[in-house]
Structure 1
Amino acid sequence: MHVVIVGAGQAGAALAAKLRSLGHTGPLTMIGEEIAPPYQRPPLSKGYLMGEMAAERLWLRAPEFWADQRVDLRLGAPVTRLDTATKTVNVGGEAIAYDALALTTGSSPRRLPAAIGGDMAGVYTVRGLADVDAMRPEFQPGRRVVIIGGGYIGLEAAAVAAKLGLQVTVLEMAPRILQRVAAPETSDYFRALHMAHGVTLLESTGLERLLGEGRVTGARLSDGREIATDFVIVGVGIVPNTTLAEAAGIALDNGIATDAHGRTSAPDVWSAGDCASFPWGAGRLRLESVGNAIDQAEVVAANMLGAEKPYLAAPWFWSDQYDCKLQIAGLNTGYDRIVTRPGDGNSVSFWYYQDDRLLALDAMNDARAYMVGKRLIEAGKSPAPGLVADPATDLKALLR
């Protein structure tokens, strides 16, 4: 059985490695648009952007791993067409036949419209290695950067810029940073953290347009103010890469729609990672995280070999900003109560409840709270909110 994987990111790499570890001995081809071998993306906006990490440390596997595992790794090779009837993918002028196909095409950053200056020089997004390589020379002490979007990507870039001595302004059109993904308590924590490092946070403030002739020199805000800048970083979310699947007639629903096993609507075509949505409760869910990319891809690999194993997501995420490590477990959708648990020093955790059911938690510099909370959520256990809030409660005792 010839397995072809389209997309050489975290999910694609995990799927290829898992196929081999599970005993697949047939031909295996992995095709990636980028010229770099499969690499981890989270450090791009952190250690790599800071200049603390060489590119080779980003590689998910040593280059020789792919050869040793007999993976035909084709890089810098965008797939231009998928034909599910003939079971072929086109790369350049070559048609590659498959017996089973996995779409791990990932996602792309939303960009500002050209009509408001989004195509000017000096305007960057943070997604791939080439994006960060292009913007790194801009990060010089004393320069000014405007960051559009107060989500995790934008705030991570703001933290790096502030640490490197830049003048940083973050624009967030919502009433508070992190509004889409976190409770007000978490927003308050990170607002205070960034302000303590000299970052200017402008909440409830949108962008009317960028200013400049050819290269960005400023930004006109929704309230009419104009601020000068040397460059701009856009962090306003990502969209799943579904163009190839859509053109092939594969069903979409907030990404490439799969069943619980990772199958798409096309025969012998599977999907995993940022681009794929899967059944969740009464609806569907698409997760944008390293954990999901790995876990979902490994389940799909097993199912491509006949396991018939449903994917049971256990969401977890993280973010590094300054000296704060944020760790998130679970999904907070539908929460109606936040329980605050103070930790040692500058650590704290916020626990999300719906009625008396624990949904998720945000832990800042509190690995113990994160690990206990994650295990509780995965086990379906919900300790009484009063116990969680009491610093005298032994967290590990809640697992019994």
Structure 2
Amino acid sequence: MDRIIIIGTGQGGLQMAASLRQEGFSGEILMLGEEPGLPYQRPPLSKAYMANGDAGALVLKPASFYERAAITLRDGVRVTAIDRATREAICADDTRHVYDHLVIATGARNMRPPIPGLQAPGVHELRTLTDAAAIRAALAATRHAIVVGGGFIGLEFAAMARAAGIAVTVIEAAPRLMSRALSPPMSAHFLKLHRDMGTEVLLDAKAARVLVDGDGHVSGVELADGRQVAGDMALIATGVRPNIELAEAAGLVCQNGILVDGTLATSDPAISALGDVAAFPGPLGQSIRLESVQAAVDHARHIAKRLLKAEIAPYAAVPWFWSDQGKYKLQIAGLLTEADEIIPLAPPDGEPATLLFRHGRLAAVETINAPGIHMAARRLIGCDIQTLRAHDFDLKAAIKAHA
């Protein structure tokens, strides 16, 4: 294998290139990315970057890293097609790049609700550094921000805006916050935390249209029930969708992402996929797609090992996630899917935690400001409930007893 091309220059794409070198690949590595500039971290865009505006702190590796590692990075280049017959990635500038193996790390893009008014000045979305810079510039003149969507990004932004003294209303169509990611008890706890911050949270509230003033600037959001929420900024944070168009056009099997097997190979063995765009076999026998830095980085490392070694076990890393919302660090280990028993923990000197079980085995753990418990949980996913009950559900004690 002489040449590997990576489409996508996010954190997963960079990890793919770095891991190939770490595993001993000596051939050519070409990274093709549509976004200009060096690969950078996205999670801080809604948090630290909003506070300090330091774009340089987001950069994952300096330009010298790519030179030392003999990695060719072409930014600001859009790949328009994949020719599987000739094994070429075709770019918008008509250049064609031959590959021996191709890794698709195209990530996801924001999903915009089908409501009128989204093009009005003052309506923002947050996915890229350019988006974040525009929002940060607008915040100085913002009095009341409306957040459409009560997921991680929307709530991280809401907490940041409240800390800056800006009035915030969160509009969530579901009956609870972060409903795809959290258990009902933890979701209810975060509802209280945000309301205690002074954020107005409207649940079961569906945005119907963006309202504008006489100058065409956003002036609020109207709900499906006719209520109107006034505001001079609107952040649309209603989830993402995977960027699978290249893969679909190339004839790869796609289903809520690019379908990959346990080795993260697509239906074409010469092509792999990772990160937000990859739908891989989950623990319940169904394919899952995880929108997290951890998944992208772990996928990249796994693919690199598979490409450089003949035998490798199927990908089975315990997923974990985090979200910083004000002074509260939410961490999740495992997957909540089909959990059938929830055991809340209430430490006397800290924030609550939640244990979720599936068929009598630990499936996931949610914690707030408890990194030690989170790290223990990542080692205990799959442990039977009887073992944990014997230790009064003290995860650290259970690890020590069975070390």
Do these two structures clear the TM 0.5 threshold for a shared fold by scoring above it? yes
Q: What secondary structure does 1:189 align onto?
A: helix
1:108 aligns with 2:106: no
Instruction: Kindly indicate whether residue 90 of structure 2 is the aligned counterpart of residue 90 of structure 1.
Output: yes
Give the whole-Å Cα distance in 1 for the aligned partners of 2:401 and 2:344.
Answer: 16
Determine the structure 2 residue equivalent to 1:132: 132
Q: 2:388·2:394 contact (CA, 8 Å) conserved in 1?
A: no
Matching residue of 1:297? 300
User: Partner amino acid for 2:176?
Assistant: R
Residue from 380, 385, 391 that aligns with 1:376: 380
Separation in 2, partners of 1:65, 1:392 = 40
State the partner residue of 1:284. Answer: 287
**Aligned-pair CA distance for 1:382:** 4.0
Conservation of the 8 A alpha-carbon contact between 1:340 and 1:389 = no
* Residue number in structure 2 paired with 1:257: 259
CA distance in 2, matches of 1:125, 1:142: 15
Q: How far does the alpha carbon of each residue in 1:171-213 deviate from its partner, in whole angstroms, 9 at most, with x for none?
A: 0111111222211111121111111111000011111111116
Q: Which amino acid aligns with 2:367?
A: A
**Comparing 38-47 and 380-389, the one that deviates more:** 380-389
The residue type equivalent to 1:237 in the other structure is G
Identity rate of aligned residues, in percent?
Answer: 38
Alignment partner, residue 270 of structure 1: 272
Alignment counterpart, residue 348 of structure 1, candidates 330, 336, 352? 352
The within-5 A match list for 1:64-213 is 64-91=64-91, 92-113=93-114, 115-140=115-140, 143-212=143-212
Aligned residues: 397
SS at match of 2:73: strand
The residue that corresponds to 1:364 in the other structure is 368
State the distance in 1 between where 2:128 and 2:378 align: 29
CA RMSD of aligned residues (A): 1.9
Matched, 1:243 2:238: no
Describe the superposition over 1:248-277 as per-residue Cα deviations: whole angstroms up to 9, x where unpaired: 111101101111111111241111111011
Q: Which residue of 2 aligns with 1:20?
A: 21
Name the CA shift for 1:71/1:208 in 2 (closer, same or farther; >3 Å): same
Partner SS state of residue 156, structure 2: helix
Q: Which amino acid aligns with 1:90?
A: I
Is the Cα–Cα contact under 8 Å of residues 110 and 239 in structure 1 kept in the other structure? Answer: yes
Scaled by the length of structure 1, what TM-score is found? 0.94
- Look up the match of 1:4: 5
Establish whether residue 45 from structure 1 lines up as the match of residue 46 from structure 2. yes
Rounded Cα–Cα distance in structure 1 between residues aligned with 2:201 and 2:339? 26
| TM-superposed deviation, 1:132 | 0.5
AA aligned opposite 1:312: A
Alpha-carbon distance in structure 1 between the residues aligned to 2:24 and 2:389: 49
Identify if the C-alpha distance between structure 1 residues 57 and 142 changes in structure 2 by more than 3 Å, giving closer, same or farther: closer
Q: Aligned in 2, Cα 1:384/1:201: closer, same or farther, shift over 3 Å? A: farther
CA contact (8 A) 1:341 1:389 kept: no
Structure 1 residues 40 and 344: alpha-carbon distance in aligned structure 2, compared to 1, 3 A threshold: farther
Residues 234 and 398 (structure 1 numbering): CA distance in 2 closer, same or farther, change over 3 Å?
Answer: farther
Matches of 1:383 and 1:60, distance apart in 2: 43
Alpha-carbon distance in 2 for matches of 1:330, 1:392: 14
Which 5+ residue runs of structure 1 have no aligned equivalent? none
Letter in 2 for 1:120: A
- Per the alignment, residue 339 of structure 1 pairs with 343
- Preserved contact between residue 363 and residue 369 of structure 1 (Cα < 8 Å): yes
**How far, CA to CA, are the matches of 2:101 and 2:179 in structure 1?**
40
Distance in 1 between residues matched to 2:395 and 2:19, nearest whole Å: 43
Amino acid at match of 1:293: A
Rounded Cα–Cα distance in structure 2 between residues aligned with 1:285 and 1:68? 36
Shift of 1:387: 5.0
Q: Residues 260 and 278 of structure 1 are in contact (CA less than 8 Å); yes or no, is this contact kept in structure 2?
A: yes
Q: Structure 2: 5+ residue runs without aligned partners?
A: none
SS of match in other structure, 2:171 = strand
The structure-2 alpha-carbon separation of the partners of 1:62 and 1:293, relative to structure 1 and needing over 3 Å to count, comes to same
Q: Which amino acid aligns with 2:106?
A: T
The residue matched to 2:276 in structure 1 has which SS?
coil
Shift of 1:118: 1.8
Distance in 2, matches of 1:130 and 1:393, equals: 42
Task: Check the 8 A contact 1:339/1:388 in 2, yes or no.
Answer: no
Partners of 2:359 and 2:269 in 1: CA distance: 42
Shift of the 307–49 alpha-carbon distance from structure 1 to 2, 3 Å rule, reads farther
The answer to whether the Cα contact below 8 Å between 1:274 and 1:286 also exists between their aligned partners in 2 is yes
Q: Evaluate the alpha carbon distance shift between residue 103 and residue 57 of structure 1 in structure 2; reply closer, same or farther with a 3 A threshold.
A: same
Deviations 1:18-43 (A, max 9, x none): 11111111111001111121111111
